Amino acid sequence: MAIRHQLIQRSPADVWAVLSDPERYGDWVVGPDKSVPIDRSWPETGSRLRFTLRAGPWSGDGTTTVRHSEPCRELELEAAFKALGSARIFLQLRPWGDGTLVICDEHPLRGLGGTLHNPVSEVLLQLRHRGMLARLAKVVEGERAGADAGARHA
């Protein structure tokens, strides 16, 4: 089970605003090139979005389903990508001073990813999480900083 955390210098509500926007999925998740909501109720439990992965000329679509959602606290997703199977991604938001500690826990559930799960794949997940959580922090902190700057100049 790959568990990683990141301190983001914004409130849980600011972090949730990015997590709850299905069109921003590709901005912070490492891998997807594009995301499109399938259901208008994202991130309510059971809602889904379609994502596209690209590697050179190759591309393929997958689906992410919300399995559990507590606004500003927890988001549990199941990402499925054809033959690779599916993975559980659990994001927990904890208030931490003026910021938010985001804890990410991911592990394969079904398919090839689950069959081939081993210590090497855990290292790869850790590297993916480091990039993903850093991107989330950059998106959240940058978005809020832009809003704060706009308010100061108004």
CATH of the domain at 71: 3.30.530.20
* Nearest-angstrom CA–CA distance, 34 and 73: 25
Asked whether residue 11 is assigned to any structural domain, the reply reads yes
Beta bridge pairs of residue 54:
59
Asked whether residue 24 is assigned to any structural domain, the reply reads yes
Residue 5, burial from CB neighbour count under 10 angstroms (0-12, 13-18, 19+): middle
Asked whether residue 136 is assigned to any structural domain, the reply reads yes
Least trusted range by pLDDT, from 1-10, 41-50, 88-97: 1-10
Residue 17 has pLDDT above 50, yes or no: yes
Tell how many helices (H) and how many strands (E) occur in the chain.
4, 7
Report pLDDT digits (tens) over 34-90.
788 899 899 999 999 998 877 778 778 889 999 999 999 999 999 898 767 888 999
Residue 66's domain spans which residues? 2-148
Asked whether residue 90 is assigned to any structural domain, the reply reads yes
Asked whether residue 57 is assigned to any structural domain, the reply reads yes
> In Å, how far are 4, 10, 87, 119, 139 from 105, measured between CA atoms?
7, 21, 10, 15, 20
What is the number of domains present in the chain?
1
* Nearest-angstrom CA–CA distance, 68 and 90: 9
Q: What is the reported pLDDT for 16?
A: 97
Asked whether residue 64 is assigned to any structural domain, the reply reads yes
* Nearest-angstrom CA–CA distance, 62 and 36: 11
Asked whether residue 153 is assigned to any structural domain, the reply reads no
Three-class DSSP category at 103: strand
Task: Say what percent of the chain tops pLDDT 70.
Answer: 78
Residue 140, burial from CB neighbour count under 10 angstroms (0-12, 13-18, 19+): buried
Three-class DSSP category at 31: coil
Asked whether residue 154 is assigned to any structural domain, the reply reads no
Which amino acid would we find at residue 52? Answer: T
pTM: 0.82
